[in-house]
């Protein structure tokens, strides 16, 4: 058998597709600051982490599988595993509960962590295990911890990681609680959307640590001063992830767009502002600000956490534009 259990032709195809994916990501300049991430993406076989996935179509979801009886089906599965797209990997009652993120976005987030050798990283949302494998390649198994609420997800992630030759610590539990027994961490990276910054994350960070997490369709990079204080700006890129799951985390209500021009409704940047100011500004107020400030990009916004308070801001923490966010949240008591 060829590379990682594949037959000759498929092994050659996997190597070629992975090389093409790395070349595509590399062209964006993402790997320039730390070429070790290029090595990681070149070395870690994504196909081992997505033995099946779902592709949406007019008739619902099509399942692509590594053990399809049709050789052309196996080839479609393998080519798809190396496309620069997110892959739906787990559905429950027709709802997506886990996925493998878009590789170029994963590369950007990993590069933005700005890790040094020996950095200890906590990943919130184990997914398929692919991101944990990339972290393990760069930092070593002993420095990587990944957590997910769903035991089926952690079990499959652990199996995929072992198949690829990596053994980071995989924990089943509520990601909002962090993993105190593995603290302190130099970096916390979340691959699920938040509505607030869980207080255990800050408490489990070393001073100067970085928390990188999806929030309001963006990626916030917070530098941690201590257990109660953190501050940082959003990256320029949009980011859409499955929500952080667990007790008492309701889905946001749909936004009514009455009175907002069509071009704003269709604007990703306007929708980001709406998500960031949800419950504080209505769409008309948000639209007036968005127009007045020249349709600001995500990188002009930031978040400050100060004790039990948190707020988002445009351009500067002290305003003039600042909006309260849910404060650092303590997870609900564990059920026994």
Neighbouring residues of 250: CB distance < 8 A, sequence distance ≥ 6: none
Q: How far apart are CA 68 and CA 64, in angstroms?
A: 8
Q: How far apart are CA 182 and CA 169, in angstroms?
A: 9
Q: State both tokens at 225.
A: 């001063």
- For 277-318, list the strands marked E by DSSP: 301-306, 309-314
Handedness of CA 88, 90, 92, 93 (dihedral sign): positive
The H or E element that residue 272 is part of is helix 268-276
What CA–CA distances, in Å, run from 197 to 5, 35, 43?
41, 30, 33
Residue 101 annotated among the catalytic residues of the structure: yes
What CA–CA distances, in Å, run from 183 to 121, 125, 203, 210?
9, 17, 9, 14
Q: State both tokens at 194.
A: 């938040």
Taking alpha carbons only, the member of 124, 109, 70, 93 closest to residue 244 is: 124
Q: State both tokens at 153.
A: 């997800």
The single residue of 98, 99, 101, 136 carrying the catalytic annotation is: 101
What CA–CA distances, in Å, run from 39 to 24, 43, 159, 309?
14, 6, 23, 41
Burial of residue 31 (number of CB atoms within 10 Å: 0-12, 13-18, 19+): buried
Handedness of CA 293, 297, 300, 301 (dihedral sign): positive
Q: How far apart are CA 86 and CA 88, in angstroms?
A: 7
Active site residues: 101
């Amino acid at each position: 058998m060829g590379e990682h259990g594949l037959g000759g032709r498929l092994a050659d195809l996997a190597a070629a597709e992975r090389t093409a994916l790395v070349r595509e990501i590399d062209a964006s300049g993402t790997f320039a600051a730390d070429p070790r991430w290029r090595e990681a993406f070149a070395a870690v076989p994504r196909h081992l982490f997505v033995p099946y996935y779902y592709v949406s179509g007019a008739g619902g979801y099509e399942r692509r599988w590594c053990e399809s009886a049709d050789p052309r089906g196996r080839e479609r599965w393998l080519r798809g595993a190396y496309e620069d797209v997110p892959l739906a990997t787990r559905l429950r009652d027709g709802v997506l509960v886990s996925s493998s993120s878009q590789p170029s976005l994963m590369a950007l987030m990993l590069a933005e962590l700005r890790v040094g050798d020996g950095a200890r990283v906590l990943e919130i949302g184990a997914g398929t295990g692919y991101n944990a494998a990339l972290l393990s390649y760069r930092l070593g198994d002993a420095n990587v911890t990944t957590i997910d609420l769903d035991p089926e997800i952690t079990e499959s992630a652990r199996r995929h990681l072992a198949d690829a030759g990596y053994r980071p610590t995989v924990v089943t539990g509520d990601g909002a609680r962090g993993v105190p027994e593995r603290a302190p961490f130099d970096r916390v990276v979340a691959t699920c959307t938040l509505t607030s910054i869980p207080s255990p994350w800050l408490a489990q960070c070393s001073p100067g640590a970085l928390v990188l997490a999806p929030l309001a369709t963006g990626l916030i990079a917070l530098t941690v001063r201590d257990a109660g204080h953190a501050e940082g700006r959003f990256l320029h890129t949009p980011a859409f992830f499955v929500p952080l799951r667990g007790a008492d985390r309701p889905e946001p209500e749909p936004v009514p767009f009455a009175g907002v021009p069509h071009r704003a409704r269709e604007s990703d940047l306007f929708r980001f502002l709406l998500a960031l100011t949800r419950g504080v500004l209505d769409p008309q107020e948000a639209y007036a600000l968005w127009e007045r400030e020249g349709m600001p990009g995500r990188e002009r916004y930031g978040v400050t956490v100060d004790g039990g308070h948190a707020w988002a801001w445009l351009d500067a923490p002290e305003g003039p534009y600042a909006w309260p966010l849910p404060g650092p949240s303590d997870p609900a008591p564990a059920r026994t």
